[in-house]
Structure 1
């Protein structure tokens, strides 16, 4: 019988020798198969759930009051029970240790050569990035670009590198950097201006060549400009 069910059992009177009928228990547990077993269960529940001296159910069960008095005296300092002297029965601290690991097993470690190669490649990449984008300064170091702890973690799990890059790339596409977008827009406008300037120079050169060819015609006639023609300066200004 569990302790919760034992607490609900009525304690028999101290001087009452009449035993009550066994209580009916609900659930899947089997009931007592005999009166002796029912009596044992009843007194065991009484012994567990009582808040009085535990010698009472003990003496009641063995009918010690009807037996002759014992011939030896109780030793001095002997403990009674946990209900009468709770300070003499400290509660034990039970610690459960699991026979199996509670954490997931570690993944397969890469070979030392692979780990060293990944570490070296990432460190070289940091140095090249500093030379190209942060040249002429000594404030930004490789740890600012990619911390040493991150490099060590990637080198310890190189098999997941492609998946990590894929995840980070997708998130960067969903959350673009505003400063980077502004720089790209500025570069695009600069390229557009350069393209327009190049096209204008090509047209001016072609017009100049055509104008010179007409002006240098050796027929003896003078090439003049009228209202339907534009001079080179007017053409350049209109363009």
Structure 2
């Protein structure tokens, strides 16, 4: 045979043409030894709507000789994922399972709640050291995002905050739409150190051995805990060198069901610590074993998703070591460990075990909106139209210069409408020919690239200058205003809660149910508002003149109620 190893995608392997041309070939069937499924967790993770063919890989079992070996490998295979893979690949229950622990002693973990508005990405400024002067001072970092637009905006913002001594090409975004040539160039840049920070989607990392990545950050919650571990595992491929993983958690996550349940479980664990000795003493009598058996019986495939999210929440909220939920989820304590050589330098575990080893720079921004990617004086629609008009004029003039006597050659032969619209709508600021090459693939770039960049710069104008990075700036402090509103709110709330009827019942409970679509009596509604209004007036500072008290507006149809003169 000409080839001894073949690499195919799930889509190709399950196709009818591949079955007809390859699997049905007698010469191939006599020589096939083994089918290897790398990153086998994708059968479970991606087997739904994203890449349904991953879940259909079991069909190849029927297209191959019976004795063909199947090897499925992955670094993230908890028990419920293994069960799902066995079912999808139609593996027998006595299939050999070799399990190794997937914890990484050279990886330090920290979890940070996002302090600034999510779309400003201001918290990520801690990735860039404040006093750097060369590219070598930036630790090689991948920042994983959950969508490609976020990766583009993030790279634009971070690039704008590099010092002038560091090339803007040190920060690049990566997703599946940037083109194969750009992907190979970026992967080479990560390897040789010319690209230091890469906001990316899941497209970067799968099947790659990026040994020069020493820090991975996740911006917001990954889709699953297995995805989190996969991303974290792409840092610190060199076992003797320390690496870091940072999870940036949105403030809104604190309102999620998973977070609240994890908080309750955390408090329950604290209360149950004193009973630990009692529970241990019951092991000999079988009481605890019986409870555990019942619990395990409920952890079937239907609970896999909730179990995953519960582990994610526990990983975030725990006040103990962040490695505990990780090890518990993958049952690492019962698996064979991978022996790591001694680390160079100080070994860090996580920010819960030793906060002093995980300092976080304080970033204060007077106007977080100024950090948004591509933010200019003009609105995006106006900016796009201005760029579009300028590029149409430029291509017409350029075509007329190149083909002065040929009226059939229009500007579209130099700059197509597709490329023109891409340049007009992109959020990324194009300041150089390198930026242009990263945004579009254009045949005329070597000839007209700089001329086109100059045209774009004339449209951007002075308003396109990157915003100044603000660190520990005093800015405009709104704390006093917030304090005043808080005091006013507390006074009003206390007045509402203390107002009772003759029988001692809180009137506010009735009012809280109004208004709604089922209320027919508007007069009754006005009575409630008058009661609450009077309560507020009675608790208002007596020194204020009556006319200074604001009227209360019930809704657009109701007359407002003014304070008595």
> Do these two structures clear the TM 0.5 threshold for a shared fold by scoring above it?
no
Structure number having the greater strand percentage: 2
Relative contact order, higher structure (CA 8 A, sep 6+): 2
Tell me the TM-score normalised to structure 1 length: 0.31
Structure number having the greater helix percentage: 1
Determine which structure has more spread, i.e. the larger CA radius of gyration. Answer: 1
